[in-house]
Amino acid sequence: MATRSRRLALVIVSVLAAMIAGDAAAAPSRELVVSVAISLKEAMEELGRQFEASHGGVKVRYNFGASGQLAQQIEAGAPVDVFVSAGKAEMDRLEKKALVTEHDRRAFARNVLTVVRPADSPIDLVRAEDLLEKRVARVVIGDPRTVPAGRYAEESLRALGLWEGLRPKLIFAENVRQALDYVSRGEVDAGFVYVTDVTTRSGRVKEAFRPPDDTYGPIVSPAAVVKGTKQPALANAFLDWLTGPDGRAVLARFGFLSPPAGTR
Amino acid sequence: MTGESLSALALSVRVAILATAINTIVGVPLAYLLARRRFRGRAALDVLVTLPLVLPPTVTGYYLIVVLGRRGWLGAPLYAATGWSIAFTWYAAVVAATVMALPLLVRTARAAIESVDRDLERAAHTLGRSEWQTAMEVTLPLARNGIVAGLVLAFARALGEFGATLMLAGNIPGRTTTVPLAIYTAVQTGETGDALALVALLTGLSCVVLIVAGRLGARAT
């Protein structure tokens, strides 16, 4: 009994040791850490794959989260090379604190807000006012303090004069994908997400309606090289790739629109 | 402290008190059963109660959603019947805190009950006391300090619960945001001052709880 457990312990230790050693050996020559707004996850992963393929020896590592959380991490000194934000305000905040520079910052996409409901929900929603109905018990938006999609949702609901009335029903999600997840699991009756999010859960959620686009935004997403990066050239190359024809093709495939001319 | 921090504190205390009360009602009998009775499924029950201690809290939270969510095993029939679901209410925070704190109480109380001299119980038996009377008049009073120490630890755990609460109750300011969640949000949004005040408060409270539990534990042996 004792020798058996000792042998088991030995096996576990050697497996762990192999994993640690393997991980260290597998480190590529150049690594680019990119903090990405989670709404851009699939598009950026695809873009990163292409970037890696055309830049030998480069490994792109992602840090996904709500734009506000990612910006906060960078303010706290996170070792990030590139910040890809969903909203403009988060990037403005970093620029004001001189953590990104105007020169190394570029708008790369535009997005549109939509309201989704569980695919099997019996509640038919066709316009924003319907959310006030009694049958609608819970509505999820991203936490406006850290989630751009939530902030735009608040902006739109305020413009429509529905914010105060809807407040008791509102649930704040950590990021826009969590909002989408709550809807897809049927825990809530409706949620505000980006149109580009819907396809990641098609079949489980359905678009109900889109808030009038003059009530919020425009939602322009910027990316920038983070000050203090050890690889400014590579980080800039990534930005060029993102805003160049290859990046635009990938983004378009995932449903993102081109940023309005002259925005940054 | 801001109003939001204060409401988080009030909610945390309310949740911890309720979770501890439920744990007293459920946990002490469980501890007694596991300590003194031999029955089928005892090992399984032991594992089930202890799991939240070793599982990542988010995994426990996920299980709670699977069981209690609008489409959960228990949550779906409840929602169909009443149109109400526990998820994203402050009751969900109580459930999460209760489940997460239960193993601390059960393990501590069980050890205390097991250390009670069986001869004393047998003597009570011979003098005509039923098992229930023996438990109430002999076993539990003798194990009291260990049980109270377990309750104190469970209270502290309930006060600090984060992961499972976030999963099941969400993080709704003024409704389900407990102190640990408020700290998380404050750090995420860079409101360091607020976070610091809450961190200091929770650290102080936890120290008091540990000192109390330590004294009770020392007296128990």
Q: How many independent structural domains does chain A possess?
A: 2
CB distance A72–B173 less than 8 Å? no
- Contacts with B172 from chain A: Cβ below 8 Å: 170-172
Minimum distance, in Å, between the CA of residue A83 and any CA atom of chain B: 16
Q: What is the pLDDT of residues A11-37, one digit of tens each?
A: 887 777 776 665 555 555 689 999 999
Quick count: other Cβ atoms within 10 Å of Cβ A15?
10
The answer to whether the Cβ–Cβ distance between A171 and B172 falls below 8 Å is yes
CA distance A43 to A121: 29
Q: Would the CA dihedral through B128, B132, B137, B142 be positive or negative? A: positive
pLDDT at residue A149, rounded to an integer: 97
How are beta strands A82-84 and A190-194 bridged, if at all? unpaired
Q: Which CATH number goes with the domain that contains A187?
A: 3.40.190.10
A145/B187 CB distance under 8 A: no
The reply to whether CATH 1.10.3720.10 applies to domain B3-220 is: yes
pLDDT for the residue B137: 92
Alpha-carbon distance of A111 to B170, in angstroms, equals: 26
Q: Do B69 and A187 touch (CB under 8 A)?
A: yes
Q: Which of A108, A120, A197 is nearest to A152 (CA)?
A: A197
Supply the range of the domain harboring residue A101.
Answer: 9-110+220-253
Whether A214 is covered by a domain: the verdict is no
Both A117 and A101 in one domain: the answer is: no
Check CB contact under 8 Å for B189 and A145.
yes
Proportion of chain A above pLDDT 90, given as a percent: 78
Q: Count of CB contacts below 8 A, A vs B?
A: 45
Are residues B172 and A186, on separate chains, in Cβ contact within 8 Å? no
Average pLDDT estimate for A85-111: 94
Neighboring chain B residues of A146 at a CB cutoff of 8 Å = 185, 188-189
Asked whether residue A37 falls in the same domain as residue A70, the answer is yes
Q: Quick one: pLDDT at residue A18?
A: 72
Q: Are B9 and B201 in contact (CB under 8 A)?
A: yes
Bridge-partner residues for A100, per DSSP? Answer: A226
Please report whether residue A259 resides in a domain. no
The interface pTM score, or ipTM, of the predicted complex is: 0.73
pLDDT value at residue A20: 67
Question: B69 vs chain A: nearest CA distance in angstroms?
Answer: 7
Residues of chain B with C-beta less than 8 angstroms from the C-beta of A72: 187-190
Of A137, A146, A170, the CB nearest to B188: A146
Residue A123 included in any domain: yes
Judgement on whether residues A93 and A128 belong to the same structural domain of the protein: no
Q: What's the pLDDT tens digit per position in B104-122? A: 999 999 999 999 999 999 9
pLDDT recorded at residue B96: 97
Say if residues B60 and B163 touch (Cβ distance below 8 Å).
yes
More confident: A4 or B9:
B9
pLDDT tens digits, one per residue of B165-208: 998 998 888 889 999 999 988 888 778 788 889 999 899 988 98
Q: Do both A205 and A83 map to the same domain?
A: no
Do B188 and A75 make contact, defined as CB atoms within 8 angstroms? no
Q: Are residues A246 and A154 in the same domain?
A: no
